[in-house]
Amino acid sequence: MINKKYEFILFAFLMALFMSGFMSLIVTFINLGFVDGILSIWIDAYWKAFLVAFPTIFLVVPRVRKTVGILIKNKKIPMSKENLLIVISTNDVDTILKFPLLYGGVSLPRDYWKRVHIMFWGSSIIPAKENVQIKEQIKQMQKDGVEFSSCIVCAEEYAVVDELENMGIVCNHTGLLLTEALKDDKNWAMMTV
């Protein structure tokens, strides 16, 4: 596979390859019709068109994107990160309800993020299991597509694995997702409470 950092170069190459080939074929046919040697005439026009098209794409595409961005109404702020991981380690009910669950709860419906994952770690597991408001908020957020998980080691220590799993909170080795989010700074934003 080709590294993502070469995406625009590959895009420009393929766009130039296809567009110059197609356009030179059509223009050659329009100007000459079916004449003897049309294939060699077209190939000659094709490679010359490609030599012009390839560098031109590097100049034109960024300006076209900028112009389109100006012309399109309700333009959103471009964000490269699409995934949000919220790690909750506090057992303070008010804090859990008013910050991570409030923001996490509106993030998908308001299209702030494409994926939201909330992870309960340590003593935060207890209010998640016992507090009625938190349980109701989790249920509503799950309907909106928010993912929930809990540290399996912590859940086992508090003997609440079954209760959390029945709430739709996946108990697993959350360190894997946490490590992925910490290492993948381009796709993941992370907050801890």
Q: At what angle do helices 100-107 and 132-143 cross, to 10 degrees?
A: 20
Record the pTM: 0.59
Distance, C-alpha 168 to centroid of its chain:
24
Rounded Cα–Cα distance for residues 54 and 57 (Å): 6
User: What is the model's pLDDT at position 43?
Assistant: 92
Contacts of residue 55, Cβ cutoff 8 Å, sequence gap at least 6:
none
Contacts of residue 145, Cβ cutoff 8 Å, sequence gap at least 6:
108, 116
Mean confidence (pLDDT) of the chain: 90
What is the token pair recorded at 128?
A: 């998640």
C-alpha closest to that of 38 among 47, 20, 26, 49:
26
User: What is the model's pLDDT at position 77?
Assistant: 53
Q: Where are the alpha helices (DSSP H) in 72-160?
A: 93-98, 100-107, 125-130, 132-143, 152-157
> Across residues 172-190, what is the average pLDDT?
89
> Which CATH topology does 83-192 take?
Hypothetical Protein Ychn; Chain: A, (3.40.1260)
Could you tell me where in the chain the CATH 3.40.1260.10 domains are found?
83-192
3-state helix, strand and coil shares in percent for the chain, rounded to the nearest 5: 60, 15, 25
User: What is the model's pLDDT at position 4?
Assistant: 81
